[in-house]
Chain A
């Protein structure tokens, strides 16, 4: 069958287009973890005492915990002593301006389509680029500073705004929260920090671009985002990694705090290396993301497109503390080949008249296993709270699996909950209809999948939505015969 050349076809040859390795001089600690490693990381970053102590408390707590076994994912045990906990591109000196960024690093990010050159960027997107565990460049800092917005690497924030860091760090995701959050709290090396002051509507999209480069390293970044009263910010994050045969661990923590009437929109396009067709290699993406709607009428909206990683384990959630606060979760998770995803959200309703919406679209192809796991909890104080959840699964082929595990706990009779889930496949008749109109089978699948995900893509900023659509197409390559 002859098919028209489409954008999708460009990707046919290179299954994973971001799989290259950059030759950058790196400084890394030997593999293994103990208190000495933590002290070294802290010292290298010149951290204040409170942070070192917090790391150590986290580490000691982590030692008492066991890895969770309930996710619907199987993988060989992780040897935490074989992981490198700190690797960083070797800095020549402390950077005074973006022009001083190592040209090889620049080329790396250019190759990824992330230009660190402010002039070259057409759209107003400020980028914090994180390579291995360290932030290498943050664009548009000066421009943002004019509005009083702090947007910088976590390390810079620790140096320049220790009071803000100390005030908010760990308030949404305490280090006791779970195994991977505890590990992250002990060893996190960098990440992004953002503070939007009262009443400020952030004039551009903020984004962090994460890249794992060095072999055998774990990436443990930490993002902290605070939107003060009445402010608004939209934040994007993207991630890629080279193709390697070993599995690599990514255990990040993201904390969002929205004060009264503030709104945070957090979008993720996750494209870590998923491993090859036979499930060799790929990133273990074990991430804790949570937002706290602390003030009245605040809003946090999570949108995620998860196409990468060998295993994804994440539940971006919202604690709706303030009355009338709103939590949203829009998700597309795709598993192809032997990928496994156990993802969903937690909506904890505490305040009165809080509202949450969950739209989850799971796509399973190949031998992929895709699970939605979500908690909706209505506390006794959540008078008049509402939740609507919709979880749809699409199966492509008969070797994959699609699972839905909602947990609904209601302790207030005025709360209203509706949960719907459905499972479908791409119908032969749908494909035939597209074929008859001249589309190839693969194009038909992409078309149908994109239609299936439309409700979620709508929530993404424009350019991300386009990228997400392309990504789905690439990830689905070879899913139909």
Chain B
């Protein structure tokens, strides 16, 4: 439980690669303030290095395999043989509306679908915004404080290449969800991409954004993505992060969100892929009377690990936040959850609920969970709960007694368990696609059929 950082270890390759970034920045004629952010990021990273198991926030997630990887950032795009057909094979491909596609961290206009959404709404790539709207972007990037993701945030500052920039002006409602696909070509081990997304929904606007992370090849790639999200006063924002990278991939994701008064924010995290994934979710409720839902589902198999680390900061009174995270674990996989609700002095009438439920489907899967409350105001309603267990045998029996085969019974119950989370996605097409996907994945998972604990008759 030692909170001290360990001394930086084997950081050489993370620092050495920076030369290529400086060159690329010069040739792209990046504004000087951006280079300053990059340099500062590199310095901060060099100072602390990757967190180790001795760090309280990383006790169960060993980053040594990332350190052991080669580190190959791609400051400049390289030609990739990615086609629209490749994209069409991905889940969510059927969604209509805007689509921004990034390959190995670089925007691919050819693969993207950008129609004008009306003059006021800005949807474009970060690299483009650097050229067209630098001052605004600088202000956005500078306005962020570090959270629990500081090592990766520093690395992202140094190496970020591109990402989605969205700005919805006050009072505007965007009808269709905006879809960003971050594809990893998966062509070589250690290939690193650092997407940086800046999403701003101004007062009383409405928008749904989905970030999808997927791999084409099977190499041990490294994605370190960071999304900063601002929901203005009264804005209604739904954010979906759907992480479905290849079985050898490493995925570090951060969502840093600030919501203003009376906003409604729903942020969903679906972690279905990657060998090791971590989502750092930080939400600050910065105005009174807002409602936030943080919702997550992790499904792990084999030797994978999915980690969710969440901090909700109730800084203002009369806010409600509900956090629901469910995990389904089979094989020798591991699930890690850390949730902290912080209610600051004066944040009276806070209504915060947090649950983490885990389903263990095999004898070697394991779970570490820490649902925490830290409360400094008295007139609040805060609860949290965590459960870990197997499928309820009573429910399995009930379904079997109605004639369903045991596999179907188990799959139905597991699917229902996943459905608790999926059903909270408000955007219909995304919800339906995820529901289908999870059902199909369950069908493929042998452990769903197999009851690890005891032989059945």
Binding site for B on A (CB under 8 A): 68-70, 378, 380, 393, 395-425
Interface string of B342-375 (1 = CB under 8 A from A): 0001101000000000101111111111111111
B380 near A413 (CB under 8 angstroms)? no
At the interface, yes or no: B139 with Cβ under 8 Å from chain A? no
Q: A397-B378, A402-B375, A413-B360 are in contact. Are A423 and B383 (CB under 8 A)?
A: yes
B387 near A417 (CB under 8 angstroms)? yes
A406 near B366 (CB under 8 angstroms)? no
Most buried by B among A69, A406, A421, A423: A423
A70 near B2 (CB under 8 angstroms)? yes
Nearest CB in chain A: distance from B2 CB, A: 7
B362 near A404 (CB under 8 angstroms)? no
Residue from B372, B374, B377, B452 in contact with A413 in the complex, judged by beta carbons closer than 8 Å: B452
Additional pairs, 5, CB under 8 Å, beyond known A399-B345, A405-B370: A403-B372, A406-B369, A407-B368, A409-B367, A413-B362
Name the A residues within 8 Å of B363 (CB-CB): 412-414
Residue from B358, B372, B376, B390 in contact with A406 in the complex, judged by beta carbons closer than 8 Å: B372
At the interface, yes or no: B386 with Cβ under 8 Å from chain A? yes
Nearest CB in chain A: distance from B374 CB, A: 5
A420 near B367 (CB under 8 angstroms)? no
Which residues B326-347 have CB closer than 8 A to chain A?
345-346
Residue from A69, A393, A404 in contact with B3 in the complex, judged by beta carbons closer than 8 Å: A69
CA distance A12 to B246 in the complex (A): 67
Residue from A378, A397, A404, A424 in contact with B384 in the complex, judged by beta carbons closer than 8 Å: A404
At the interface, yes or no: B143 with Cβ under 8 Å from chain A? no
At the interface, yes or no: B83 with Cβ under 8 Å from chain A? no
B385 near A398 (CB under 8 angstroms)? no
At the interface, yes or no: B86 with Cβ under 8 Å from chain A? no
Residue from B361, B372, B388 in contact with A415 in the complex, judged by beta carbons closer than 8 Å: B388
Residue from A380, A414, A425 in contact with B378 in the complex, judged by beta carbons closer than 8 Å: A425
Name the B residues within 8 Å of A401 (CB-CB): 374-376
Interface string of B1-14 (1 = CB under 8 A from A): 11110000000000
B1 near A398 (CB under 8 angstroms)? no
A390's nearest neighbour on chain B, judged by CB, is: B385
A408 near B381 (CB under 8 angstroms)? no
Nearest CB in chain B: distance from A376 CB, A: 9
Q: A395-B375, A416-B389, A419-B386 are in contact. Are A409 and B380 (CB under 8 A)?
A: no
Name the B residues within 8 Å of A414 (CB-CB): 363, 390, 453
CA distance A398 to B386 in the complex (A): 27
Nearest CB in chain B: distance from A59 CB, A: 22
CA distance A407 to B60 in the complex (A): 11
B388 near A402 (CB under 8 angstroms)? no
B1 near A70 (CB under 8 angstroms)? yes
Name the A residues within 8 Å of B362 (CB-CB): 413
B1 near A408 (CB under 8 angstroms)? no
B379 near A408 (CB under 8 angstroms)? no
A397's nearest neighbour on chain B, judged by CB, is: B378
CA distance A174 to B398 in the complex (A): 50
Most buried by A among B56, B348, B366, B373: B373
Q: A411-B366, A413-B452, A415-B388 are in contact. Are A403 and B2 (CB under 8 A)?
A: no
CA distance A397 to B361 in the complex (A): 45
Which residues B278-327 have CB closer than 8 A to chain A?
none
At the interface, yes or no: B412 with Cβ under 8 Å from chain A? no
At the interface, yes or no: B427 with Cβ under 8 Å from chain A? no
Majority SS at the chain A contact face = strand
Name the B residues within 8 Å of A69 (CB-CB): 2-4
Binding site for A on B (CB under 8 A): 1-4, 56, 345-346, 348, 358, 360-390, 452-453
Smallest CB-CB A-B distances: 3 pairs: A413-B360, A395-B378, A70-B1
CA distance A420 to B377 in the complex (A): 20
Residue from A393, A410, A421, A424 in contact with B367 in the complex, judged by beta carbons closer than 8 Å: A410
A392's nearest neighbour on chain B, judged by CB, is: B383
Residue from B377, B389, B453 in contact with A398 in the complex, judged by beta carbons closer than 8 Å: B377
B378 near A420 (CB under 8 angstroms)? no
Please list 24 pairs of residues, one from A and one from B, whose beta carbons are closer than 8 Å in the complex, sorted by A's number.
A70-B2, A378-B388, A398-B378, A400-B378, A401-B375, A401-B376, A404-B384, A406-B370, A407-B370, A408-B368, A409-B366, A409-B367, A409-B368, A412-B363, A413-B390, A413-B452, A415-B388, A415-B389, A417-B386, A418-B387, A420-B385, A421-B384, A423-B373, A424-B381
Name the A residues within 8 Å of B377 (CB-CB): 395, 398
Q: A406-B370, A413-B365 are in contact. Are A393 and B375 (CB under 8 A)?
A: yes
Name the B residues within 8 Å of A378 (CB-CB): 388
A428's nearest neighbour on chain B, judged by CB, is: B379
Nearest CB in chain A: distance from B173 CB, A: 37
Name the B residues within 8 Å of A425 (CB-CB): 378-380
Q: A70-B2, A402-B373, A408-B368 are in contact. Are A421 and B383 (CB under 8 A)?
A: yes
Name the B residues within 8 Å of A415 (CB-CB): 388-389
B373 near A410 (CB under 8 angstroms)? no
Name the B residues within 8 Å of A418 (CB-CB): 385-387
Name the B residues within 8 Å of A395 (CB-CB): 375, 377-378, 380
Name the A residues within 8 Å of B56 (CB-CB): 70
Name the A residues within 8 Å of B390 (CB-CB): 413-414, 416
A413 near B361 (CB under 8 angstroms)? yes
Name the B residues within 8 Å of A404 (CB-CB): 371-374, 384
B370 near A422 (CB under 8 angstroms)? no
Name the A residues within 8 Å of B1 (CB-CB): 68, 70
CA distance A360 to B4 in the complex (A): 29
CA distance A72 to B388 in the complex (A): 27
Q: A70-B56, A406-B370 are in contact. Are A423 and B380 (CB under 8 A)?
A: yes
CA distance A205 to B120 in the complex (A): 78
Nearest CB in chain A: distance from B366 CB, A: 4
Residue from A393, A406, A413 in contact with B453 in the complex, judged by beta carbons closer than 8 Å: A413
A422 near B383 (CB under 8 angstroms)? yes
B372 near A398 (CB under 8 angstroms)? no
Nearest CB in chain B: distance from A292 CB, A: 22
Residue from B3, B345, B367, B380 in contact with A408 in the complex, judged by beta carbons closer than 8 Å: B367
A416's nearest neighbour on chain B, judged by CB, is: B389
Residue from B4, B348, B372 in contact with A405 in the complex, judged by beta carbons closer than 8 Å: B372
Nearest CB in chain B: distance from A347 CB, A: 14
CA distance A13 to B378 in the complex (A): 27
Residue from A396, A400, A419 in contact with B387 in the complex, judged by beta carbons closer than 8 Å: A419
Residue from A393, A398, A408 in contact with B369 in the complex, judged by beta carbons closer than 8 Å: A408
CA distance A226 to B66 in the complex (A): 49
CA distance A419 to B364 in the complex (A): 22
CA distance A398 to B349 in the complex (A): 12
Name the B residues within 8 Å of A411 (CB-CB): 366
CA distance A412 to B360 in the complex (A): 8
Q: A413-B390, A415-B389 are in contact. Are A398 and B348 (CB under 8 A)?
A: yes
A408 near B385 (CB under 8 angstroms)? no
Name the B residues within 8 Å of A70 (CB-CB): 1-3, 56
Residue from A396, A407, A408, A424 in contact with B388 in the complex, judged by beta carbons closer than 8 Å: A408
A427's nearest neighbour on chain B, judged by CB, is: B379
Nearest CB in chain A: distance from B421 CB, A: 19
A371's nearest neighbour on chain B, judged by CB, is: B374
Nearest CB in chain B: distance from A190 CB, A: 31
A408 near B382 (CB under 8 angstroms)? no
Most buried by B among A407, A415, A416, A424: A407
A417 near B389 (CB under 8 angstroms)? yes
Nearest CB in chain B: distance from A390 CB, A: 10
Name the B residues within 8 Å of A68 (CB-CB): 1
Name the A residues within 8 Å of B369 (CB-CB): 406, 408
Nearest CB in chain B: distance from A430 CB, A: 13
Name the B residues within 8 Å of A421 (CB-CB): 371, 373, 382-385
Nearest CB in chain B: distance from A3 CB, A: 23
Nearest CB in chain A: distance from B5 CB, A: 13
Name the B residues within 8 Å of A424 (CB-CB): 381
A378's nearest neighbour on chain B, judged by CB, is: B388
A398 near B3 (CB under 8 angstroms)? no
B360 near A420 (CB under 8 angstroms)? no
B386 near A406 (CB under 8 angstroms)? yes
